[in-house]
Amino acid sequence: MADILKGGPVAAALSEELKTRAEKLKEAGTVPTLAILRVGERPDDISYENGAMKRCDKIGVAVKRFLLPGDCTKQQLLDTICEINGDSSIHGCLMFRPLPDKAMEDAACALLASEKDVDGMTAGSLASVFTGKGAGFPPCTAQACIELLDHYGVTLTGKRAVVIGRSLVIGKPVAMMLQKRNATITMCHTRTVDMPGVCREAEIVIAAAGKAGIVDKSFVAPGQVVVDVGINVDENGKLCGDVSFDEVEPAVAAITPVPGGVGAVTTAVLAKHVIEAAEKIQK
Amino acid sequence: MADILKGGPVAAALSEELKTRAEKLKEAGTVPTLAILRVGERPDDISYENGAMKRCDKIGVAVKRFLLPGDCTKQQLLDTICEINGDSSIHGCLMFRPLPDKAMEDAACALLASEKDVDGMTAGSLASVFTGKGAGFPPCTAQACIELLDHYGVTLTGKRAVVIGRSLVIGKPVAMMLQKRNATITMCHTRTVDMPGVCREAEIVIAAAGKAGIVDKSFVAPGQVVVDVGINVDENGKLCGDVSFDEVEPAVAAITPVPGGVGAVTTAVLAKHVIEAAEKIQK
């Protein structure tokens, strides 16, 4: 029986700490404030937005919403980003992605001020994840993996960590963050030969392939910690991760569930990044 | 007996191809031009500069040198970068690093236009190595490793590649470049546990630790290709790599020598980046 590394307690502990920091900022005259920029009415976006607003409210982070119609023009979107960049009362901006128009999304990402980029969408933020210096923040989901491992006392220094997936939203940044914490990282992807064998060498497996259940028991070994970042819908319409939980769970030391694992930590990380952005300005 | 993967033939083949491209640019009215910016009179810098100038001359890349005294002010350095940025006849800039003053170096790196950054020193170039999009070029030494492997027909897709070292000048970028070519990468560093064991799992080993001879025969396995990026001076004052050549060479399939390996390819790569920068502007 593996330890089930639930996200709820991580988010709760993080929220407690953040409440105090938000309080301090307010005492000094700053209300940490998040801009949420949503284009259209995608149910996933709205559901995440509601969760983020609740979390921010609990912690003491104000939210300003910027809602644009699904058929807004590029100029409207860029004007909104300019407004957010120029509004000194806003410390961070979450823009839901992907946008239907990729060129529009790229232009928006290029325009957002890196210091307000609390979800790793700008080149500046990604450069700072890679180089370890500069403005911006890593993507919240990548940071959530690290927060979760830290919360449950998983040592990273010297550990072998395999990351499955090489996206800019999660695979690449989480690998760099694990490396910064002195893990020895290996990155798997669709062209990896013998992925199960590569994964079995690791002490920590981060599954971020975005494919339901591809990590089966052939991928894991006794003693491993498995972090499942996937959020997929299975053939029965049920939420599931990248890991075949039922067959992997008995074979490893610890595993995050889906739902209720990494995903449950992301909104607290979002609030953390907004508070950090506000603290940086105050200094 | 391993194949000795010398850099000379790689540089020669690359130069031939680049000559044709430089010729084409000139026919269209553009002389591809490199700015070399050197602060002080460090013998290593001057020696590399001489090599770069010879290589550029052979290929048909013009060089403009900007030489500043070792005790120049930050303002002088930044003015020079501004001049290079503003001079449309200059397509690429090589600035020797490290500078004695780290803050001055950071300011210079931040000011240089990414599209003229032919040696991966700006955040923009490093972001593009990480994200796979954007302006700039990877560090020449990292690109030289890839050119060398390509020249000798070493397939990268699906191969396990271990990179020793996580510097921004070579370890991190070369790992990302190998991954872009679909290798499965692992990154080792000072905190890696059992580095020899990790390296033995690989099919390609890139040694970029910057420590003379740390890769001994315990790190390697039959069939491996070993690329030695180290340039160190041993106790007898002789140039040597990160690999103990004499004991590793008989144990692997192929190995690059030091000197005469990766180092011999870097000036050709520098010229290549200048030509690419010029071609981009022409389009």
Whole-complex ipTM: 0.95
Which residues on B lie below 8 Å from A110 (Cβ)? Answer: none
Rounded distance, CA A148 to CA B7, Å? 46
Q: Could you give the residue range(s) of every CATH 3.40.50.10860 domain in chain A?
A: 28-113
Give A77-93 pLDDT, tens digit per residue: 999 999 999 999 999 99
Give the CATH architecture of domain B29-114.
3-Layer(aba) Sandwich (3.40)
Cross-chain Cβ contact A179/B168 below 8 Å: no
pLDDT at position B100 is 87
Give A88-135 pLDDT, tens digit per residue: 999 999 999 999 899 999 999 999 999 999 999 999 999 999 998 888
pLDDT at position A26 is 97
Q: Could you give the residue range(s) of every CATH 3.40.50.10860 domain in chain B?
A: 29-114
Angle at A154 between CA B167 and CA A186, to 5 degrees: 40
Q: Which residue has the higher pLDDT, A189 or A1?
A: A189
Q: Which of B123, B126, B198 sits opposite A184 (nearest CB)?
A: B198
- Count of other CB atoms within 10 angstroms of residue A40: 15
Query: Which homologous superfamily does the CATH classification assign to the domain defined by A28-113?
Result: Leucine Dehydrogenase, chain A, domain 1 (3.40.50.10860)
Give A208-258 pLDDT, tens digit per residue: 999 999 999 999 999 999 999 999 998 888 999 999 999 999 999 999 999
Give B63-105 pLDDT, tens digit per residue: 999 999 999 999 999 999 999 999 999 999 999 999 989 999 9
Whole-number average pLDDT of chain B: 96
Place of tokens 């050549």: B245
**pTM for the whole structure:** 0.96
A16-29 as b/e, with b when 16 or more CB fall inside 10 Å? eebbebbeebeeee
Which of A156, A163, A178, A187 best tests the B interface by mutation, with the highest count of B CBs <10 A? Answer: A187
Indicate if the pLDDT at residue A283 is higher than 80.
no
Q: Which of B130, B168, B193 sits opposite A158 (nearest CB)?
A: B193
Amino acid at A140: C
Whole-number average pLDDT of chain A: 96
Residues B133/B98, Cβ–Cβ less than 8 Å: no
Exposed/middle/buried for B171, CB within 10 Å: 0-12, 13-18, 19+?
buried
Query: Does B163 contact chain A (CB < 8 Å)?
Result: no
Which of A126, A174, A203, A204 best tests the B interface by mutation, with the highest count of B CBs <10 A? Answer: A126
C-alpha A5, offset from chain centre: 16
CATH 3.40.50.720 for domain A140-263: yes
Give A138-193 pLDDT, tens digit per residue: 999 999 999 999 999 999 999 999 999 999 999 999 999 999 999 999 999 999 99
Rounded distance, CA A148 to CA A241, Å? 16
Give B125-172 pLDDT, tens digit per residue: 999 999 988 889 999 999 999 999 999 999 999 999 999 999 999 999
Query: Does A157 contact chain B (CB < 8 Å)?
Result: yes
pLDDT at position A83 is 98
pLDDT at position A49 is 97
Q: In chain A, pLDDT over 70 holds for what percent of residues?
A: 100
